[in-house]
Chain A
Amino acid sequence: MKLGTMFQDVSSSFLRKPVTEKYPFERRTPPTRLRGTLVWDAETCVGCGLCATDCPANALEVFVLDRKEKRFALSYHPDRCTFCAQCVSSCRHGSLAMSNEVWELAALDRTSFTIHFGDETDVELALAGKTASNAEASSE
């Protein structure tokens, strides 16, 4: 039975700098494995769509425009993403990775929450196809 067993901690803290990090002003270097935003490598993708199937948050959409020509587009929704990296593991060709540099994803408008990967014309085509299929679905 003692009184004030934490005296050592308390007295040594008196002259110590607080451990609290002043986050936006002081930043630590993120660990190399940090799971930030998704990065897609169009070269190796085969458009199998397994990443989109396994995504628990439906944050990925894969558009296959032409399998032979290897024309694919990918829509990524960081706002839905849970950063579990299952897509990275599911991809058999290593086309997906998670950045450890881009991870501060908060934004004031919604446009930054949909990221389109792929050739610009391909993305436009894919989105046009998507709206068309949506229209079809709603007319049915």
Chain B
Amino acid sequence: MASDIIKDLLVSLAAILFFPGGLFLLLCGLLYEWIDRKLLAQLQNRIGPRWFQPLADVIKLLAKEEVVPEEVDARLFIGLPIVALAGGLTAALYVPFAGLAPSHSFNGDLIVTIYLLSLLSLCLGLAGSNTLDRFSLVGATRTLTQLFSYEAPFLLALLGPAFAAGSWQIQEIATYTETRWLLLSQPLGFLVAVIGLMGKLELPPLDAPEAETEIVAGALTEYSGRGLAIFRLSKGVTLILGLTLIAAFYLGGVSNPAFFFLKTIALLLIIVGLKALFARLRIDQSVGLWWRYGTLLVLIQWLGMFLWGGVMT
């Protein structure tokens, strides 16, 4: 009896710490970061990093001394990256990752997941405004500005499939989309979701919050060692979770592990292609882009869905 409880505990611990959560998720994040960099290099006619480069970067950063700047709330400075990573890892509990069913599921977990994923931007913004560094401050302002601009369209774009499936539970939506490619019926929503993910991860052309030629590293300027490593890991986690969500909702389900990797990597290729093709937008331009076009596109999508629904019934 007691041994059964211990066994159960060990299994769930292993699930959280190693597979499919925790360590495996982090390593997958690093793998996707490498694929991202390698593909971008290929598109730019370069060689790109070797496969272990993201891992080596993280190990190096973990080994480095973490400099806590003066006149900074040290607890916040050290705590924020951990909160960001924890948010990403918690979100992973509700997402059908690597072909497995999510370990937890309840009605409305889609909203919880989206907000847990936003925790990264929020922590970045707070980390930037926590320091006195001017680049960090400008970067934090831009991060938060961008958060308020992409979040609404991104949320609406992910609610499209939820509306189609008639459920706000990721597991149910994923089951619903297993046989349907919503990309075909909701192309605008898909587009907004992909670009929204790029905005969330501050990828070019929406990388104004960390534009290195203007504000060095944006909100992360003052981070050097462990904190930077953890922020990078949580970016990797957010990347892979975002890809999973979009692939599950729009690309015909991810219940098969092979399809999961195929579809998420195909999605990554689209993102890398967009990264390579466009010049960086200024922060006012990207806010304009989101409110002028992004939101409008999603609303058109929703209008279409309502009308279609009306016609069908």
Chain A residues packing against B (C-beta within 8 Å):
3-4, 6-7, 10, 13-14, 16, 18-20, 22
Residue of B nearest to A15 (CB): B42
Beyond A13-B43, A18-B48, 6 additional pairs, beta carbon < 8 A? A3-B277, A10-B276, A13-B42, A14-B42, A20-B45, A20-B46
Q: Kindly list chain B residues whose C-beta atoms are within 8 Å of the C-beta of A7.
A: 277
Known A4-B278, A18-B41: A10·B47 in contact at CB below 8 Å: no
Taken together as a complex, chains A and B put the C-alpha atoms of A4 and B278 apart, in Å, by 6
Task: Check if A13 sits within 8 Å of B44, measured CB to CB.
Answer: yes
Whether A20 touches B47, Cβ cut-off 8 Å, given contacts A10-B273, A13-B42, is yes
For the complex of A and B, 5 pairs with smallest distance between CB atoms: A4-B277, A18-B47, A20-B47, A13-B45, A10-B43
Chain A residues near B277 (CB-CB < 8 A): 3-4, 6-7, 10
Interface bracket on B: 10 to 19
Q: Which residue of B lies closest to A19 (CB)?
A: B45
Identify the interface centre among A6, A10, A14: most chain B CB within 10 Å of its CB. Answer: A10
Q: How far is the CA of A4 from the CA of B43 in the complex (A)?
A: 13
B276 nearest CB neighbor, chain A only: A10
- What is B's interface to A at a CB cutoff of 8 Å? 41-48, 273, 276-278
Closest to B41 in A: A18
Residue numbers in A under 8 Å from B273 (CB-CB): 10
**What would be 30 A-B contacts, judged by CB atoms less than 8 Å apart?**
A3-B277, A3-B278, A4-B277, A4-B278, A6-B276, A6-B277, A7-B277, A10-B44, A10-B273, A10-B276, A10-B277, A13-B42, A13-B43, A13-B44, A13-B45, A14-B42, A14-B43, A16-B45, A18-B41, A18-B42, A18-B45, A18-B46, A18-B47, A18-B48, A19-B45, A19-B46, A20-B45, A20-B46, A20-B47, A22-B47
**A interface secondary structure, majority:** loop
CB-CB under 8 A from B47, the residues of chain A are 18, 20, 22
Shortest A35–chain B CB gap in Å is 28
Question: Which of chain B's residues have a CB closer than 8 A to the CB of A14?
Answer: 42-43
Residue from B41, B45, B47 whose CB has the most chain A CB atoms within 10 Å: B45
Closest Cβ of chain A to B61, distance in Å, is 26
How many angstroms from the CA of A19 to the CA of B44 in the assembled complex? 10
A20 to B49, CA, bound (A): 12
Assembled-state Cα–Cα distance A18/B38 (Å): 11
User: Smallest distance from the beta carbon of A132 to chain B beta carbons, Å?
Assistant: 54
What CA separation (Å) do A78 and B273 show in the bound complex?
47
A10 to B270, CA, bound (A): 12
Closest CB in chain A relative to B160 CB, distance in Å: 24
Report the Cα distance A4→B273, complex, angstroms: 10
- The complex places the Cα of A116 from the Cα of B196 at a distance, in Å, of 67
Question: With a CB–CB cut-off of 8 A, which chain A residues contact B278?
Answer: 3-4
B45 — which chain A residues lie within 8 A by C-beta? 13, 16, 18-20
Name the distance in Å between A29's Cβ and chain B's nearest Cβ.
22
With CB as the reference atom, state the residue of chain A lying closest to B273.
A10
Residues of B within 8 A of A19 (CB): 45-46
How distant is the Cα of A61 from the Cα of B232 in the complex, in angstroms? 56
